[in-house]
Amino acid sequence: MWVEDWTPAAACRQAQPDQLFVRGAEQNKAKQLCAGCPVRTECLAEALDNQIEWGVWGGMTERERRALLRRRPAASWRAVLEAAREQGSPVTAKSGALHV
């Protein structure tokens, strides 16, 4: 089930915003915060569909999201990610590719 108003359920809602807008190795810590988030997919779709350039969103860094956007520039990421969820496919980033 897709959560329309996902922000209140986000694992990062209690975190300091600066924790999610970091560079280098610190991004791995930010991604760990996303790992168990119940609305990770919705968050990632929001960032991809709105081409948000900064921060870790849905467990992906800016670089990972840019790679996805280059591969599928006209995609509705909500539709892609929602379909993957319904099929029970894991959504992960690996070397800039979306694996669903």
36 is in an annotated binding site: no
Amino acid (one-letter) located at 88: G
12 is in an annotated binding site: yes
Asked if 58 and 34 count as a contact pair (C-beta separation under 8 A), the reply is yes
53 is in an annotated binding site: no
Question: What residues pair up with 98 in beta bridges, in sequence order?
Answer: 93
37 is in an annotated binding site: yes
- For residue 98, the 8-state DSSP code is E
Degrees, nearest 5: CA angle 61-52-24: 25
Give the three-state DSSP class for 60. Answer: strand
Amino acid (one-letter) located at 27: Q
Annotation: binding site: 12, 34, 37, 43
Q: Which residues are annotated as a binding site for [4Fe-4S] cluster?
A: 12, 34, 37, 43
